[in-house]
Amino acid sequence: MTSPASPLQTAPNDFHKRPLVVMQSVSKMFSSGTVALSDMSLTVNSGEFVSLLGPSGCGKSTALRIIAGLGDVSAGSIDWPSSRINSRGLPEGDISFVFQEPTLMPWQTVFGNVHLPLKLRGISKSAARAEIMATLATVGLADFAEAYPRELSGGMKMRVSIARALVTKPKLLLMDEPFAALDEITRQKLNDDVLRLWKETGITVIFVTHSVFESAYLSNRIVVMKARPGRVHADFPLHTSLSRDARYRTSEEYRQACETVSTMLLEAMGGEEEH
């Protein structure tokens, strides 16, 4: 290439429209006979922040787990067009998962907990120190490296969980209702943290929530799911000229975004006969 590379070409969140993961007509039936997903197709592009929104039981967690390789599909496929995949069909090391519970090891310090995914790759604490400390700094916990989980608030524990997910520098961050158990103010702070991390790193995020307000605040794109069986009901972009911050929360644009999302969600929840 002889043309000078523009710094903008690689700027985070300059959506590449390069498919990162493609769910193609995925169905999932559990051994109990429950059809959790039926013919679900979804392409998530590199750099997007996508919310999966839908009523409880519509298959959000199942879809996320399948993307993470934590469950098989009954029909259909998951493809990673731009990644090198391992023998399990997954882009090795490129996916991290954050669950609703922070799932920290109580007997380990914050540092030890964030070290875990690197330890599993054979990287010692001393070799990983700089990376772990840098990641803790990005979630505002640099001063808490030696603290134990029991000494932390719920929001701080969730920050540790996010740091643990980011320390391997994944391409894709899967978050399953990560802030549902937190109080509103803490939740808003963590929403802002996640947005900042997304902007800084250019990571792709698939964020599961059942909150209209949270999905409208965070995402560039919202996928509304319908239940019994789980499938995509609506898939639309959410653009805003404003930066998503405290002022956005009280803006007319945000109010309209919430209304649009809310209408779609009500539609998805309103009976099986409509299309």
Ligand X SMILES: Nc1ncnc2c1ncn2[C@@H]1O[C@H](COP(=O)(O)OP(=O)(O)O)[C@@H](O)[C@H]1O
State which of residues 56, 87, 241, 250 lies at the interface with ligand X (CB under 6 A): 56
Stretch that binds ligand X, among 4-12, 49-57, 108-116, 253-261 (CB under 6 A): 49-57
30 binds, among Mg ion, ligand X, none (CB under 5 to 8 A by kind): ligand X
- CB nearest Mg ion: which residue? 61
- The answer to whether 57 contacts ligand X (rule: CB under 6 A) is yes
In sequence order, the β-bridge partners of residue 78 are 23
61 in contact with Mg ion (CB under 5 A): yes
Stretch of 56-64, 150-158, 186-194, 235-243 lying at the interface with Mg ion (CB under 5 A): 56-64
Q: Give Cα 77 to chain centroid, integer Å.
A: 20
Answer for which of 32, 87, 126, 243 binds ligand X (CB under 6 A) is 32
57 touches, from ligand X, Mg ion, none (C-beta below 5 to 8 Å by class): ligand X
Q: Does 257 bind ligand X (CB under 6 A)?
A: no
Interface with ligand X in residues 221-250 (CB under 6 A): 230
Considering the complex, state which of residue 145 and residue 269 has its C-beta at the smaller distance from ligand X. Answer: 269
Contacted entry of ligand X, Mg ion, none for residue 91, CB cut-off 5 to 8 Å set by kind: none
Binding residues for Mg ion (CB under 5 A): 61
